[in-house]
Amino acid sequence: MQALDLATKIGFRTRNLSMEEYKRLSDGERSYFHALAREENSSWIKSQLREHEAGWLVVVDGRVIAHGRSLDDYPDEAEIRRICKKTGQFPFVFVSDLLLSIEEDTATWHQMSKPIAVARKHRTPTWRLQPADS
């Protein structure tokens, strides 16, 4: 518990990339950058998930700007695009490992492959944003 309290005091330590920086990265580099941010801020992320009673978080400038309890309300590409446009930065989206395990177990139980693919897809989000239709 003390580690989570300390993490909250220290705060989120990874800078969000600008859209230009994000677009220049390959999918592999994006995944690696996200994984590093998740590892470096794991205690902070856990404390924020607990504080917001959330299954996922959207983080910009070290602040949680959106959160939800399930993958049903997980931000889609259009929402990520709106956040990018509003903030000028590409947001971090972190999903609770517990949420992923619940989603995967439920999907396996019902023998539905789509939820498994959705849950696995969101472990390390690497959106490929297409040019917005005007």
pLDDT, greater one: 59 or 119: 59
What stretches of the chain adopt beta strand conformation (E)? Answer: 56-60, 63-68, 92-95
pLDDT tens-digit series, residues 22-43: 999 999 999 999 999 999 999 9
pLDDT at position 97 is 85
Q: Is 126 exposed, middle or buried (0-12, 13-18, 19+ CB in 10 A)?
A: middle
CB 46 within 8 A of CB 12: no
DSSP code of 60? E
Residue 128 has pLDDT above 90, yes or no: no
d(CA 17, CA 20) in angstroms, rounded, equals 8
Residue partners of 68: CB distance under 8 A and separation at least 6: 54, 55, 56, 74
pLDDT tens-digit series, residues 38-79: 999 999 999 999 999 999 999 999 999 999 998 889 999 999
pLDDT, greater one: 8 or 61: 61
d(CA 131, CA 117) in angstroms, rounded, equals 25
pTM of the model: 0.71
